[in-house]
Structure 1
Amino acid sequence: MRKNVYTLFSVCLILFIGIESYAQTIIRGPYLQMGTPNSMVIKWRTNSATSSKVWYGSNSSNLPFTVTDNGNRTEHEVTITGLAPNSTYYYAVGNTSGQLTQPSNNHYFKTSPIPGTAQTIRTWVLGDCGTGDNNQRAVRDAFYNFNGAQHIDMILMLGDNAYEDGTDSEFQAALFENMYEDRLINTVMWPAIGNHEIVSASSPDESGPYYDIFTLPRNGEAGGVPSGTEAYYSFDYGNIHCVVLDSDDTPKDPGDPMLVWLENDLSSTSQDWIVAYWHHPPYSKGGGSDTGAKETDMRENVNPILENYGVDLVLVGHSHNWQRSYLIHGHYGQSNSWNPNTMGIDLGDGRLDGDGAYTKNANGEGTVYIVSGSAGKRGGTISPNEFHPVMYESISDYGSMYMEVTGGQMDIKFIRDNGVIHDYLTIMKQVATGFPPDVSVTAPDHGTNYTTPQAITITADASDSDGSVTQVEFFVNNISIGTDYQAPYSVNYTIPDEGTYNITANAIDNDDNTTQSSVVQFTVGPVTTCVRVTDGNDDAEERPSGTVNLTSGDLELVDDGGLGSQVVGIRFNGLNIPQGANIASAYLQFTADENTNDNPCTITIFGQDSDNAGPFNSQDFSISGLPKTSNSVSWTPSDWLAIGDSGPAQQSPNITSIIQEIVSRPGFSANSSIALVLQGMGRRTAESYDGSTSYAPELCIEWSMAPIAFDCPNIPANIGTPCDDGDNTTLNDMIDANCNCT
């Protein structure tokens, strides 16, 4: 009796643990950090510790690529690398048991363009937003109504992002819960630290909630000179260089590390636009003054450096209002030292429909300073006689700022919480003339796979409709590898290692117009492709009577509750495997939908012997009647113990021989779909597409264009490879030294 009690307790414990691991809940995020042209950081928080996994791909219905961190934690941070610049990827997050977010058209991220690329860049600027109340939400809603469905490329945060003390719970209310979460899943935040965050954080040792929540570029990961700290940093987006400073908790006297770094960073950038931002305002009146020590330090010690290197725009908060300057240069004292005759570069309104856009003078001088500190807090009324003399406009109203850069034009708007655009201006740079050139990479082909690292020649076509192409510069993974000045345009490149490589080419014409080509991607060495079922007609059950069910909420493999053994069909799209590829390994991965196990259970897996498998249909016997591959694999699965498990027990044996037979067909192509047919006896119950798109069956294939050298070519397999010898367990089966499965 005691033994039976222990057995029951053990079973219950196993079920409890399995269900708990399956019931993970995301309580923060996901949210995006530190985007670059070829990488993205995704962060989220779960209610209990678990592993971390991200699925991603170029289509929300097909996320074939994954990044996994097997360590258990509640604070998850996954970096995806090897991405193409200026490209959109869809994603889902979860753990090794499955996805915790549903793939959707809103769960996406967009990589940055290659630095220097001129295109429309949309930015939302939030200053002093972090109240977590309805005033903050009103500002949010006004901006959302203004922006509509447009993608926002960057969110710049000017400090005081979480009131009153920058605690973790205050950040939760101010950013992640009933606030910006719908935007943070697809747009990167780039914050500056404010005085309220410093209450619970420390910049010298980079500790506290602010530094825990944000992942920022200390090593120049996103462009610019490495700062060695997350307290201040820089990054590039397209043709904009952004500099983020700490005006509160980092020394800012001449010769201090932040100012030395600032000069090195600004002297190193060649971007068209430079935007600097921090928290404390160098110029402000009404609801905040610029006479404090921190404000004075920034004005006297930092502004001269910025203006010496041609910074176009400075953004700050702290004062809970909107204040916007004229185009100015050289005002480093208090307000009574302002001289409009020597310091005012353009004292107009800066509006295209007014006095005209602001433009730097012949010496390259002229900067606009903006206080935008009312995205969550509002100060007292500012009367015109209280305006700081450098300011064209000042208003104490809730609102946020929108900035749009297209080539040589920067448009700025202040959007109040009632949706009114209260202030607007334009800054112009020299505008290129004529039409931009056309350019495309012509070799290698997109999707090419090289068996080993080797020397290759990259070529491009380039032309200009109203002039001539002066040069074509080639980039691999965002690093310049050479420039050709005459057609035909080419460069030699030696591939350093296995991996994924993204090629772009930049063409410049005689009018200095620049165009970037579309990305061409190639791989070196074996490639692993994992795809899930992506449509309800791509997994189906054929009962013994011949009727076909296309909408089942699960897949019985293969006995359907005593009705007899059925035939199951599963089809996979978007594999992008070239004809004739050599398959190194392949397997099916299921997720347990039930923990009922009818034994003995033996499943035989065939492939559909077809160049391009079509979707299943409801015609009787349409699955069993499919032509089958000559190769098949027998699977005797272990018991499935817990609902939601998706591990070795739910993984098929190696089905390399089946996949190899299909991709070797002369009519197979990279666009072909592959279907598998399962039949046999016994039962294991798996999730289907109609039951859960996130846990639908998955096919993983490792392939390359190189011949695979097997120890046992007749099988094919290697000595020590797991296998199935046909008995009731596969736990210890492997290929022995005589090439037998034992």
Structure 2
Amino acid sequence: MKKRLKYIAAIVLTTITVTAFTQTNPFPAGPDPDRIVLNVTEDPSTSLAVTWRTCDSIQTGFAEIMETNADPAASLNAVRQSAVSEKFQLGNISVFYHSFIFKNLKPRTKYMYRVGRENHWSEWFHVTTAGLPGDKISFIYIGDVQTGIKSFWSGLIRSAYAKMPDANAIMYAGDIVNRGEFDNEWGELFYAGSFIHSMIPGIMSPGNHEYAKTKDDKLSAFWRPQFTLPENGPEGVKETAYFTDIQGMRFISLNSNQAEEVPADLESQKQWLDSVLQHNPNKWTCVIFHHPIYSIAPQRDNPWMRDNFKPLFDKYKVDLVMQGHDHAYARGMKKITGAAANEFSGTMYVISMSGSKMYKENQKPWMDKNGGHLQLYQLITVEGNTLSYKCYTSTGDLYDSFKLIKQKGKKNRLVED
């Protein structure tokens, strides 16, 4: 959400109105909270952000939280705090979005929370705050969802959750829906992920399909009301370019769409990224965005990303770059040059997809492995000096895997399983 007043325990009402065509909505809002989504904050070890939706007759909301307790009666002692509420209008859609940031939490602690108000509460959700640097990290990486969300992606995200239910975060590399102004597509996303969205914090990075197909090419009107993301990025791309630190790894989202379309946003993100990488106290660094540094097909090349951001990845030894857009799978490291033409990069570049839209895969010189016409998800764990990466099909079969071994004073060593 846009407002920094989330930190104030007071009811704040704002209105967002967007002109749009009439939409048929198979996922109408009601008085009970729905589309409940957790997002990371800058420090998920001590704070968590939650956002939810109601019909427009419910104009205020509350969030309650407490450490987990097996005695239901203990829930009477949960701390209740007022949410920030804003009216959202898009064509014939009129709803309220509510958000709250839980603060002053304990690291590596199990909490239970719920959202809503009298007679209209959600269930209690369980979530564990991030730990401290040095703790094992686990996260899920999702490429383009975009199409077949309810019919096909439902099975994929549930398979990923079944294999990694204790993930610290789920990362989305853009094109989360096909048409960012269509409420029914966002409805399918929340239907498919259901309680998973409410229990594992999301790191969302926008793609070109989160931008309206208009002359203004604006970010989806749904993005900022329905996601509450860190606002530590540059002006003009707040809550799309940002970073979060989880257990010794810095996760950075870039807005590659604005980097292409708006020169000022490209330059501001470049300068911001330089600073965020320079002042990075973490052992590991992961960057996520939509348009790949190296693409799968020649006609999909993105030189503005490669020319502006790859030198920074090389300079600061970024470990993993996760991308989407090309609707096929590829990864590469061994054949990619680093800062100097005679040395190889220590950064692994990955492109993946998770929805039903598929493009033909092509073999390109930069690739160590490629493939296509498969729904895929990636599970990554980091422990000590080892990053372990496993890519699975939507049916749960292992498709690809490797390890990155961090070496003091040297580039990462790649071990292909």
TM-score, normalised by the number of residues in structure 2: 0.78
Partner of 1:34: 40
1:411 partnered with 2:391: no
More helix by share: 2
**8 Å Cα contact 1:121/1:406 also seen in 2:** yes
Deviation of 1:298 after TM superposition, in Å, equals: 0.6
Deviation of 1:92 after TM superposition, in Å, equals: 1.5
Tell me the secondary structure at the aligned position of residue 118 of structure 1: coil
Partner of 1:45: 53
Which residue identity does 1:413 align to in structure 2?
Answer: K
1:256 partnered with 2:274: no
Q: Output the CA distance in 2 between the equivalents of 1:201 and 1:232.
A: 22
- Deviation string for 1:126-154 (max 9, x for gaps)? 1111322422123224324433xx31110
Q: Output the CA distance in 1 between the equivalents of 2:213 and 2:223.
A: 8
Summarize the Cα distance change of 1:425–1:257 in structure 2 as closer, same or farther, 3 Å threshold: same
Q: Output the CA distance in 2 between the equivalents of 1:37 and 1:203.
A: 38
Tell me the secondary structure at the aligned position of residue 317 of structure 2: coil
Tell me the secondary structure at the aligned position of residue 51 of structure 1: coil
Tell me the secondary structure at the aligned position of residue 276 of structure 1: strand
Partner of 1:429: 406
Tell me the secondary structure at the aligned position of residue 50 of structure 1: coil
Match of 2:111 among 53, 66, 89: 89
Q: Output the CA distance in 1 between the equivalents of 2:281 and 2:48.
A: 24
Partner of 1:109: 127
Tell me the secondary structure at the aligned position of residue 368 of structure 2: strand
Summarize the Cα distance change of 1:142–1:98 in structure 2 as closer, same or farther, 3 Å threshold: closer
- Mapping of residues 5-24 of structure 1, within 5 Å: none
Summarize the Cα distance change of 1:281–1:219 in structure 2 as closer, same or farther, 3 Å threshold: closer
**8 Å Cα contact 1:290/1:296 also seen in 2:** no
Superposed CA RMSD in Å reads 3.0
Deviation of 1:80 after TM superposition, in Å, equals: 1.6
Which residue identity does 2:59 align to in structure 1?
Answer: T
Q: Output the CA distance in 2 between the equivalents of 1:122 and 1:232.
A: 22
Gaps of 5+ in 2: 1-28, 88-95, 409-417
**8 Å Cα contact 2:240/2:254 also seen in 1:** yes
**8 Å Cα contact 1:126/1:158 also seen in 2:** yes
Partner of 1:236: 245
Match of 1:373 among 325, 342, 353: 353
- Mapping of residues 441-480 of structure 1, within 5 Å: none
1:155 partnered with 2:170: yes
Partner of 1:312: 319
Gaps of 5+ in 1: 1-22, 333-337, 346-364, 432-742
Partner of 2:364: 388
**8 Å Cα contact 2:327/2:358 also seen in 1:** yes
Tell me the secondary structure at the aligned position of residue 278 of structure 2: helix
Which residue identity does 1:46 align to in structure 2?
Answer: T
Tell me the secondary structure at the aligned position of residue 32 of structure 1: strand
Summarize the Cα distance change of 1:219–1:273 in structure 2 as closer, same or farther, 3 Å threshold: same
Structure number with the bigger relative contact order (C-alpha 8 A, sep ≥ 6) is 2
Summarize the Cα distance change of 1:199–1:278 in structure 2 as closer, same or farther, 3 Å threshold: same
Q: Output the CA distance in 2 between the equivalents of 1:304 and 1:399.
A: 29
Deviation of 1:201 after TM superposition, in Å, equals: 9.1
Q: Output the CA distance in 1 between the equivalents of 2:310 and 2:299.
A: 13
Q: Output the CA distance in 2 between the equivalents of 1:70 and 1:261.
A: 28
**8 Å Cα contact 1:201/1:209 also seen in 2:** no
Deviation of 1:202 after TM superposition, in Å, equals: 10
Question: Kindly, what percent of the aligned residue pairs are identical?
Answer: 22
Summarize the Cα distance change of 1:369–1:50 in structure 2 as closer, same or farther, 3 Å threshold: same
Summarize the Cα distance change of 1:378–1:71 in structure 2 as closer, same or farther, 3 Å threshold: closer
- Mapping of residues 276-291 of structure 1, within 5 Å: 276-285=287-296, 288-289=297-298, 291=300
Match of 1:143 among 156, 160, 164: 160
**8 Å Cα contact 1:92/1:99 also seen in 2:** no
**8 Å Cα contact 2:391/2:400 also seen in 1:** yes
Q: Output the CA distance in 1 between the equivalents of 2:266 and 2:327.
A: 31
Which residue identity does 1:122 align to in structure 2?
Answer: S
- Deviation string for 1:359-396 (max 9, x for gaps)? xxxxxx5111000123442222x3xxx41111111010
- Deviation string for 1:282-338 (max 9, x for gaps)? 2122xx44654xx11111111111111110111100011110113455369xxxxx9
- Mapping of residues 253-652 of structure 1, within 5 Å: 256-285=267-296, 288-289=297-298, 291-292=300-301, 295-327=302-334, 329-330=336-337, 342-343=342-343, 345=344, 366-380=346-360, 382=361, 386-396=362-372, 397-430=374-407
Summarize the Cα distance change of 1:246–1:393 in structure 2 as closer, same or farther, 3 Å threshold: same
Tell me the secondary structure at the aligned position of residue 76 of structure 1: strand
Summarize the Cα distance change of 1:204–1:89 in structure 2 as closer, same or farther, 3 Å threshold: farther
How many correspondences in the alignment? Answer: 360
Q: Output the CA distance in 2 between the equivalents of 1:39 and 1:272.
A: 21
- Deviation string for 1:341-370 (max 9, x for gaps)? x35x4xxxxxxxxxxxxxxxxxxx511100
TM-score, normalised by the number of residues in structure 1: 0.45
**8 Å Cα contact 1:142/1:415 also seen in 2:** no
Which residue identity does 1:86 align to in structure 2?
Answer: R
**8 Å Cα contact 2:84/2:98 also seen in 1:** no
- Deviation string for 1:250-271 (max 9, x for gaps)? 3468981110111011101021
**8 Å Cα contact 2:33/2:116 also seen in 1:** no
> In terms of Rg, which structure is larger?
1
